[in-house]
């Protein structure tokens, strides 16, 4: 898990420099996910063209991850900046290019077994 987290953190830093800051970039392990992680992302640049953003992020991940690491990822989930649950998460955990760990919580209406928040920052409040 450590290597996967290091690689996803590096991708977050690289893509934020290339495209712009994230409001949220996290790994979530849902209760019913069969040990596959979701990558949650939210950013103004993503909202402008979601399809292109998903393609861009998927290519970055596929380029850096081994087949075994890719097998640990379930999906990339876009959290729109208007999502009413996003500010609460950002207030609870405020980090940028870091690694905040959460266990056994509920976010976005999902029971989360384990989560790593790499960036969780309310840009409107800043």
Domain region containing 58: 2-120
Cα dihedral sign for 26, 40, 5, 32?
A: positive
The answer as to whether 125 is a domain residue is no
Mean pLDDT by 10 residues, the chain (126 residues): 93 97 95 92 95 97 95 95 88 91 88 94 68
The answer as to whether 126 is a domain residue is no
pTM for this predicted structure:
0.92
Per the structure, the count of domains in the chain is: 1
Taking each helix axis as running N to C, give the angle between helix 2-19 and helix 50-64, from 0 to 180 degrees, rounded to the nearest 10: 140
């Amino acid at each position: 898990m450590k290597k996967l987290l290091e690689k996803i953190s590096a991708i977050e830093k690289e893509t934020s420099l290339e495209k712009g800051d994230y409001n949220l970039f996290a790994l979530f392990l849902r209760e019913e996910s069969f040990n596959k992680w979701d990558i949650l992302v939210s950013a103004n640049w993503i909202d402008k063209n979601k399809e292109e953003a998903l393609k861009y992020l998927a290519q970055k991940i596929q380029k850096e991850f081994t087949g075994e690491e890719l097998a640990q990822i379930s999906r990339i989930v876009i959290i729109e900046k208007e999502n009413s649950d996003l500010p609460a998460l950002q207030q609870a955990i405020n980090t940028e290019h870091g690694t905040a760990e959460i266990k056994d919580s509920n976010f976005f209406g999902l029971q989360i077994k384990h989560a790593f928040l790499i960036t969780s920052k309310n840009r409107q409040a800043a």
